[in-house]
Amino acid sequence: MRETVSADNELAELLGPDWVPVQLLTPDGDRVAHPDYDPWIADLTDDDLVALYEDLVVVRRIDTEATALQRQGELGLWPPLLGQEAAQIGSARALRDDDFVFTSYRENAVAYCRGVEIAELMPVWRGTALSGWNPFDVGMATPAVIIGAQALHATGYALGCQKDGVDSVAIAYFGDGATSQGDVNEAMIFAASFHAPVIFFCQNNQWAISEPVGLQAARPIAGRAPAFGIPSMRVDGNDVLAVMAATRIALDRARNGGGPMFIEAVTYRMGPHTTSDDPGRYENPAEKAEWAAKDPVDRLERLLAAAGLLTDGVRERVASRAAAVAAELRAGCLGLADPEPLTVFDYVYATGDPELERQRSQYSAYLRLFDAGQFGDAS
């Protein structure tokens, strides 16, 4: 089996010091200085740090609650983001409301940051609808399950922003596995060719289901973008500050006509790929334990504690917010009614279609006879 790219040091020797992921916050909660990245988060107040901590705790709770709902049979499936909270929160909190987000299925923390109603996270996983929220309400497209498709969508959206002369930016989130898809590579080519204001945000969580990142990329993924003409950054994905700084750098550059940028957030998927997955068949317990020690939530918690910002009041407030969100999630999930049968025909075309209407009315007649108990006793 191939190695995962945990041998950062070895690769750093090959590729130079830039390939060691940028870190501003150590696992022990120490703040490390970085001349290029520090200025981009210099404005963060104590309250901002506490708010980021609250985000991290709340989205972890969303994940726990949803996983529990799946285990209780209330959700068909759930893709946990455990371990990836900082990568999602740090980047999403750097965005402006008029930026637009294109993700795959695991970015529920990003959705939370965009202001998606908690209950709207549920229909897709409960199977009551194919999408939860209106993309235009929150500046975030419906998640793409087809790996990598959204990278092209983000690039196209960015082209639109460019044509419209606005300084909004599009961001595409995808995994390390997705970088093998043609779509992601084509997106980088198009973005570079047109200088599109798009950010490619790769959460390298080391796995594509059972396949380690080494199967998708023989070198750090961030090394691929420069060859397309897109500058890239490699950051510690469990460090919310580094991720936020990197995303702000990329956003600022894109807003000011600098074109696309690629961020590789190096993190780890601590849970299964989805609740249907059996990671026991492939994961490496030692490697996982190593990453557990780099937990993104603990890290910020240590910083706040050392700075005296983690008062009882703060702890209580964060805990009660997390509990409230979890309760909202549960209630929202359990409150989702099964869709009416005939809605299966809704929204196929924006303008309707007589032949489909015919199928609908035939099925409607069928259901009515069925309901009236007329099948079975007719002869």
Partner 1 sequence: MTTLTLAKALGLGLRRALEDDPRVVIMGEDVGTLGGVFRVTDGLQADFGADRVMDMPLAESGIIGTAVGLAFRGYRPVCEIQFDGFIYPGFDQIVAQVAKLHYRTAGNVRMPITIRVPFGGGIGAVEHHSESPEAYFTHTSGLRVVACSNPQDGYSMLRQAIASDDPVLFFEPKRRYWVKGEVDETLDLPLHAARVVLPGTDVTLVTYGPLVSTALDAAAAALADGISIEVIDLRSLSPVDFATVEASVRRTGRLVITHEAAQFGGVGAELAAVITERCFEHLEAAPARVTGFDTPYPAAKLEEHFLPDLDRILDAVDRVLGRQNSLTGWVASA
Ligand X SMILES: Cc1ncc(C[n+]2csc(CCOP(=O)(O)OP(=O)(O)O)c2C)c(N)n1
308-336 burial by CB neighbour count: b if 16+ within 10 A, else e?
eebeeeeeeebeeebeebbeebbebbeeb
Residue 106 contact among partner 1, ligand X, none, beta carbon within 5 to 8 Å by kind: ligand X
What is the chain's length? 379
Residue 153 catalytic?
no
Residue 205 contact among partner 1, ligand X, none, beta carbon within 5 to 8 Å by kind: ligand X
Of 138, 224, 220, 139, give the one whose Cα is nearest residue 181.
224
**Closest residue by beta carbon to ligand X:** 175
Nearer to partner 1 (CB atom), residue 107 or residue 239: 107
**Which residue in the set 7, 145, 227, 356 belongs to the binding site for ligand X (CB under 6 A)?**
145
Contacting residues for 344 by C-beta, under 8 A, at least 6 apart: none
What's the token pair of residue 281?
Answer: 């068949």
182 touches partner 1 by CB under 8 A: yes
Stretch that binds ligand X, among 4-12, 175-183, 251-259, 293-301 (CB under 6 A): 175-183
Q: 273, 299, 302, 330: which is the annotated catalytic residue?
A: 273
Residue 262, strand partner residues: 200, 232
**Which residue in the set 145, 292, 305, 306 belongs to the binding site for partner 1 (CB under 8 A)?**
145
Interface with partner 1 in residues 5-64 (CB under 8 A): none
What is the nearest approach in angstroms of partner 1 to the Cβ of residue 347?
9
User: Residue 201 belongs to what H/E stretch?
Assistant: strand 198-204
Stretch that binds partner 1, among 140-148, 151-159, 229-237, 307-315 (CB under 8 A): 140-148
28-56 burial by CB neighbour count: b if 16+ within 10 A, else e?
ebeeeebeebeebbeeeeeeebbebbbbb
Q: How far apart are CA 103 and CA 170, in angstroms?
A: 11
216 alpha-carbon distance from chain centroid: 19
Which residues are marked as active site?
Answer: 269, 273, 282
Give the binding site for partner 1 (CB under 8 A).
Answer: 1, 76-77, 105, 123-130, 145-147, 177-178, 180-183, 208-211, 215-216, 276, 278, 281-282, 338-339, 341, 343-345, 348, 355-356, 359, 362-363, 365-366, 369-370, 372, 374-375, 378-379
